[in-house]
Amino acid sequence: MIAKTCIKELKELMRDGRIRTAFLIVIVLLGVAIWISARQYQSINEQYQSAKTTERSVWDDQGEKNPHSAAHYGTYAFKPKYPLSLLDQGVDKYAGSSIFLEAHKRNEAQFSVAADQTGLARFGDLTPDFILLFIIPLFIILLGYNSFTKEREMGTLTLLKSLGVPSWKWALGKWLALFFPILAITALLFLLAGILLSNLQDFGVFNWTSLLMMFVVYIGYYVAFINIVLFISLKVKKSGIALVLSLSIWILACLVAPKAASNIAEAKHPYPTRQEFAANVLKDKQEGLDGHDPWSKESKLLEQKVLAEYGVDSIHKLPFNFDGYRMQKGEEHEAEVYLKHYNYLKEQFSEQSKVYKGLAMISPYLPTRFMSMAIAQTDYNTHWDFADAAETYRIATQKFLNDNFAQNSTYGEWSYRADADFWKQLPVFEYDPPELKTILAQNSSNLWILAIWLAISFSLLLLTTKNI
Amino acid sequence: MISTNNLTKKFGDFTAVDQLSLSVNEGEILCLLGANGAGKSTTINMLLNFINPSSGSATINNLDVVKNPIKTKEYITYIPENLMLYPSLSAIENLDYFSGIAGKQLPSADLEGFLRDAGLQEEAFHKRISTFSKGMRQKVGIAIALAKDTKVLLLDEPTSGLDPKASNEFGNLLQKLRKKGVAILMATHDLFRAKEVATHIGIMKDGQLRQQFIAEDISLAQLEKAYLETMEYKEVLS
């Protein structure tokens, strides 16, 4: 009976011109979105490879130069584009793609895609995640809003009831008829993305397991939507009311809930303004050692401490260039200041994320969105991780340069020039994003919330079918 | 096969069916006549367990319909006044679906045979139901009963709105089913059709079975008179 009902429902759906048209539109949209994303992905990765190579050769070919001049000359850490960003671009567009690494200062990521676009970018892009998160749930509504109400309206429910059909079997048949088309569309999209990504092996390591995990998350999201839409169709008597209610749920879950969650999180745990942040950093920096200022109180204290440590009475008698040493100590102080303030930002972000995760109970969209971005490595956590890795690299770079300055020159010898080959000894910046296992562990609460959504929606549906 | 014993249904203060006791055996057709609100449809709804009786009992094949709602429905086919099927499916697809969910997986040839036996024209087998008249849909309903190998047929005003030819064909189909041993309970306003097809006729008023006849023992004129008297249509009688 389950199979019979499922096949009957699918026949009815496919014979409905509106459904055929909508199905075609979704498929075309998916195709176009994948094509656009694949082109963007390829183009950005080419830019990434080119910028990374060019910037490294610029660094390597500096020629003879004072290491501290090189420290100010700086270099860039480029954020790689990860394969699954083809499906979910997450916050990549807004987060910036490279960080300028220089002495004394931790910079934020810059050159975001959004910054290169006009105000029209506010209208959004046609991306696979847009279709996955917004359009397919709408398609579910279109397919399923009248699944049960039409039986009442057409009068077929009476005949079905008279045949002694166990209601749960009948409902399961209908559920499957709604699930299979959605499964087919989603599988098609992911398969297409997988094939495309496997053929772009020059750019990042593509992982089928991550793609499969993302697929599972989206299927969970759609199952929750299917259950909600069918539940409404079971509870109300008219198709029109079922459609309006289902659309209202979609608006609340996909449009209102994320924005409300964002506003609540921001209101509860606000970020400092850029001006406040800069002022706080500056204040803390000024309270410590400035590597460039040999006359400051902190510099003099450091000088006395080092002289005592080495048992000499003049910095000229030290076995290294005290200028380089002081530069490094100043750098370490500044790094601590940045660490403290960026940690505060991270804490705020973490608190905001907690609020978000708490509010994920109000909409299956929220846990799905978080999971999708996290698996695609386009979420804010990955961006933070990249920024931290870049900062670690910056600190190591400054130490590498200051040590060279301190070890190979004498106090006051600002004319010192490191060899032209020296720069090549600096290791290349490589960033390894969190692995799938780590991502899943970090997002276990989102997985649980999605599971709760599934459990509740299935229970509601099952309980309601008993009263058909 | 069909039996009610002091079956009563009350909706608040209103008694829709009042201590109704009747029985329909295999190969019998009982036509229940009565005006709107007489309790005919409520009786059928209770036999289908769509509504629960307030008191008394109803059984199908000696099984209480309240205690055995699924089992009793295995014996029943129900054809309402306006049988609605899936408009985008063909006659054969509808028959396949409804007989399938009733537990009968039948090959296409058998399904076509049932449609043929139900009097549906061959060219209509694969046409969508949306193009069917009410009479054609009723024939598909009969085909469902045949495919299901039904033991009990419950009909609620099945000939209402049918043209005389279609109504006559429908009557003949019921006779065929009766001869196969199906117990048929039909609620109708149509005295002529009742006299034509029934083995037994009952007249209901205010939820009570006021009169009951063996169909062959009474002429159409006598039936009409009995009906009008029961309904207390004095102006018509005078």
Any CB–CB contact under 8 A between A317 and chain B? Answer: no
**Is B101's CB within 8 Å of A159's CB?**
no
Phi-psi region of A149 (alpha: psi -120 to 50; beta: other; left: phi over 0): alpha
In whole angstroms, what is the distance from residue B238 CA to residue B236 CA? 6
In whole angstroms, what is the distance from residue A313 CA to residue A292 CA? 22
pLDDT in tens, A341-350: 888 988 888 8
Q: Using alpha carbons only, give the angle B148, B152, B155 rounded to the nearest 5 degrees.
A: 100
> What is the rounded radius of gyration, in angstroms, for the C-alpha atoms of chain B?
18
Show the low-confidence residues of chain A (pLDDT under 70): 111-124, 201-205
Region B165-175: mean pLDDT is 83
In whole angstroms, what is the distance from residue A238 CA to residue B213 CA? 44
Region B186-209: mean pLDDT is 88
Same-domain status, B6 and B37: yes
For A220, the enclosing helix (H) or strand (E) is helix A208-235
Residue B193 pLDDT > 60: yes
Which residue is closest to B47 within chain A, CA to CA? A162
Residue B238 pLDDT > 70: no
Say what the pLDDT of residue A127 is: 85
Same-domain status, B209 and B106: no
Same-domain status, B61 and B156: yes
In whole angstroms, what is the distance from residue A136 CA to residue A146 CA? 17
> In angstroms, what separates the C-alpha of B87 from chain A's closest C-alpha?
9
In whole angstroms, what is the distance from residue B148 CA to residue B98 CA? 9
Classify residue B173: in a domain, yes or no. Answer: no
Classify residue B96: in a domain, yes or no. Answer: yes
Say what the pLDDT of residue B227 is: 83
Say what the pLDDT of residue A158 is: 86
Which residue is listed with tokens 């024939």? B139
Q: Which positions in chain A touch B72 (Cβ < 8 Å)?
A: 164
In whole angstroms, what is the distance from residue A447 CA to residue A441 CA? 9
Say what the pLDDT of residue A120 is: 60
Please check whether residue B73 is in contact with residue B63, taking contact to mean a CB–CB distance below 8 angstroms.
no
pLDDT in tens, A283-318: 988 888 888 888 888 888 888 898 898 888 888 888
In whole angstroms, what is the distance from residue A233 CA to residue A236 CA? 6
**Is A166's CB within 8 Å of B70's CB?**
yes
Which residue range is the domain that position B113 belongs to?
A: 85-150
Q: What is the mean pLDDT of chain B?
A: 87
Which residue is closest to A15 within chain B, CA to CA? B88
> In angstroms, what separates the C-alpha of B225 from chain A's closest C-alpha?
35
Same-domain status, B60 and B156: yes
pLDDT in tens, B5-31: 999 999 988 888 889 899 999 899 999
In whole angstroms, what is the distance from residue A242 CA to residue A143 CA? 12
Please check whether residue A357 is in contact with residue A64, taking contact to mean a CB–CB distance below 8 angstroms.
no
> In angstroms, what separates the C-alpha of A150 from chain B's closest C-alpha?
10
Phi-psi region of B234 (alpha: psi -120 to 50; beta: other; left: phi over 0): alpha
Same-domain status, B185 and B234: yes
Say what the pLDDT of residue A132 is: 92
Classify residue B227: in a domain, yes or no. Answer: yes
Say what the pLDDT of residue A236 is: 92
Any CB–CB contact under 8 A between A14 and chain B? Answer: no
Say what the pLDDT of residue A114 is: 62
> The whole model's pTM is what?
0.85
Q: Which positions in chain A touch B138 (Cβ < 8 Å)?
A: none
Same-domain status, B140 and B157: no
**Residue of B186 and B231 predicted with greater confidence:** B186
The one-letter code for the residue type at A194 is G
Classify residue B169: in a domain, yes or no. Answer: no
Total domain count for chain B?
Answer: 2
| Max Cα–Cα distance, chain B, nearest Å | 58
b/e map of B121-139 (b: 16 or more CB within 10 Å)? eeebbeebbeebebbbbbb
The number of CA neighbours under 13 Å toward the Cβ of B220 is 8
Which residue is closest to B154 within chain A, CA to CA? A162
Overall residue count recorded for chain B in this entry: 238
Same-domain status, B110 and B157: no
Same-domain status, B101 and B146: yes
Classify residue B13: in a domain, yes or no. Answer: yes
Say what the pLDDT of residue A203 is: 54
In order, the DSSP letters of A175-195 are HHHHHHHHHHHHHHHHHHHHH
- For A446, residues 6+ apart whose C-beta sits below 8 A from its C-beta are A357, A360, A366, A367, A368, A370, A371, A374
Same-domain status, B52 and B4: yes
Say what the pLDDT of residue A238 is: 92
In whole angstroms, what is the distance from residue B189 CA to residue B175 CA? 19
Say what the pLDDT of residue A116 is: 67
Q: Which positions in chain B touch A8 (Cβ < 8 Å)?
A: 86, 89, 93, 97
In whole angstroms, what is the distance from residue B57 CA to residue B78 CA? 19
Same-domain status, B130 and B33: no
Instruction: Say whether the ipTM exceeds 0.90.
Output: no
Indicate the residue of A8, A158, A162 with minimum beta-carbon distance to B97.
A8
Same-domain status, B119 and B58: no
Q: Give the tokens for residue A468.
A: 């058909």
Same-domain status, B50 and B89: no
Indicate the residue of B50, B84, B93 with minimum beta-carbon distance to A155.
B84
Domain spans of chain A? 2-465
Please check whether residue A440 is in contact with residue A213, taking contact to mean a CB–CB distance below 8 angstroms.
yes
Task: Report the CATH number at residue B48.
Answer: 3.40.50.300
Q: Using alpha carbons only, give the angle A390, A387, A259 rounded to the nearest 5 degrees.
A: 170
